[in-house]
């Protein structure tokens, strides 16, 4: 009974993920499900019924039960092989509707954005390999498809792996989850890719972060612009989202969604076209005030519960607390659903700037334990408004 129940649970999980129609489009799945149900029913009858008169059971029933015993043994064998199937289902659930590579014996959260650019999720080992790309399988794929002609870019600041899996052709660019690369890192990255791609027409790059979406999309789009495959940032972002999203599974968008990341792709477009792939002239700005729109429904709805932190080069350069007006004054604009936070002795900043907002009113906390934040670079600020 335990085996039958476990089989039933396994089948239910697979059906939920694949959907009823898709699962039962396979004749083998239909037969398998029937065996599970019949075996469970007969086993329960056998376990809980009085069979003292078993000698009176017709011969055809005896033959049926013996056949069923063989089917049960087959089921036990299939159960042993279902572990891999459950792992595949788990990985597909985690990758959601990101386009996967499911050919030639591979099933990986991996997408060819172009013939020479691959986007994928983190190559994992240990327990994480149960729900993300197993690193050995990723290495097998790359060695099979692009032996000696691939370079991997790991964009995760939070974790790495032994580069020997990819024959030490691994470049690391440290970007925090849901954050942006520095302009310097973007330029170093595109220079590295240009050199690699020019060395051999067979060379490809495989880029990943954790989920193969935000940070990965940012750097993929940066290269698409640098290599003249797209003229502007928005076109490249739209294209990446289209390639990474499997619309046959769901309409959920699997492209770059964080506004700051999209903004930095636009910055690179400007650096390439206006500054000849050089850093723009530095600009120092003093942050005097911050205006937040659509504030209603955010905490207390008037900004009085917010705390603002301004970070430059990973260092906290300014902090204000709206609740007690520490280093700031708060001016709600109810009519326009906005609030202006005027900073007292606001900081002078230059380069990449991160502005974080924390709340004491129980707002849902996202990444980095704060409700929301954004990035900008002072060199691209026009008319003193970021």
Separation of alpha carbons 216 and 196, rounded Å: 18
CA count, 13 A, side-chain hemisphere, 108:
28
Integer Rg of the chain from CA:
28
63's enclosing H/E stretch is helix 59-95
Scanning the structure block, which residue is given the tokens 């986007």?
A: 119
Which residues neighbour 23 within 8 Å (Cβ) at sequence distance 6 or greater? 14, 15, 29
Beta strands in the chain (DSSP E): 110-114, 117-120, 150-156, 170-175, 204-208, 285-286, 289-293, 306-312, 315-321, 328-333, 338-343, 348-349, 352-359, 372-377
Pair 258, 216: CB distance under 8 Å:
no
Provide the token pair at 169. Answer: 């052709």
CA end-to-end span of the chain, whole Å?
65
SS3 11: helix
| Active-site residue (options: 209, 320, 322, 328) | 209
Q: Does residue 322 have an active-site annotation?
A: no
Separation of alpha carbons 267 and 341, rounded Å: 27
Count other Cβ atoms within 10 Å, centred on residue 58: 8
Give the pairing type, strands 150-156 and 204-208.
Answer: parallel
Separation of alpha carbons 276 and 278, rounded Å: 5
Which residues neighbour 204 within 8 Å (Cβ) at sequence distance 6 or greater? 115, 116, 117, 118, 146, 149, 150, 151
Separation of alpha carbons 1 and 188, rounded Å: 61
Which residues are known to be catalytic? 209
């Amino acid at each position: 009974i335990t085996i039958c129940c476990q089989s039933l649970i396994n089948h239910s999980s697979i059906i939920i993920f694949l959907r009823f129609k898709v699962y039962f489009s396979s004749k083998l799945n239909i037969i398998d499900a029937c065996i599970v149900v019949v075996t469970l029913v007969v086993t329960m009858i056998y376990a809980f019924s009085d069979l003292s008169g078993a000698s009176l059971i017709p011969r055809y029933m005896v033959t049926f039960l013996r056949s069923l015993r063989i089917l049960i043994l087959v089921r036990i064998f299939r159960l042993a092989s279902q572990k891999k199937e459950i792992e595949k289902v788990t990985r597909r659930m985690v990758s959601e509707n990101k386009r996967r590579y499911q050919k030639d014996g591979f099933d990986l959260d991996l997408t060819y954005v172009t013939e020479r650019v691959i986007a994928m999720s983190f190559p994992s080992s240990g327990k994480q390999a149960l729900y993300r790309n197993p690193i050995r399988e990723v290495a097998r794929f790359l060695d099979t498809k692009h032996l000696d002609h691939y370079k991997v870019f790991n964009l995760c600041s939070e974790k790495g792996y032994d580069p020997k899996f990819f024959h030490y052709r691994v470049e690391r660019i440290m970007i925090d989850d849901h954050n942006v690369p520095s302009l310097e890192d973007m330029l170093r990255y595109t220079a590295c890719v240009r050199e690699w791609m020019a060395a051999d027409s067979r060379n490809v790059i495989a880029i990943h972060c954790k989920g193969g979406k935000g940070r990965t999309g940012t750097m993929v789009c940066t290269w698409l612009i640098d290599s003249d495959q797209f003229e502007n940032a928005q076109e490249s972002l739209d294209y990446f989202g289209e390639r990474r999203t499997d619309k046959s599974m769901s309409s959920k968008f699997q492209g770059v969604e964080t506004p700051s990341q999209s903004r930095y792709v636009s910055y690179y477009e400007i650096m390439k076209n206006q500054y000849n792939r050089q850093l723009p002239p530095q600009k120092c700005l003093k942050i005097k005030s911050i205006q937040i729109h659509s504030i209603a429904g955010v905490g207390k709805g008037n900004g009085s519960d917010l705390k603002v932190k301004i970070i430059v080069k990973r260092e906290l350069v300014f902090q204000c607390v709206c609740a007690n007006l520490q280093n700031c004054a708060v001016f709600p604009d109810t009519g326009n659903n906005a609030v202006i936070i005027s900073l007292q002795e606001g900081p002078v900043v230059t380069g990449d700037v991160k502005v974080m907002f924390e709340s004491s009113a129980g707002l849902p906390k996202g990444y980095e334990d704060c409700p929301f934040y954004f990035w900008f670079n002072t060199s691209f600020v026009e008319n003193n408004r970021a």
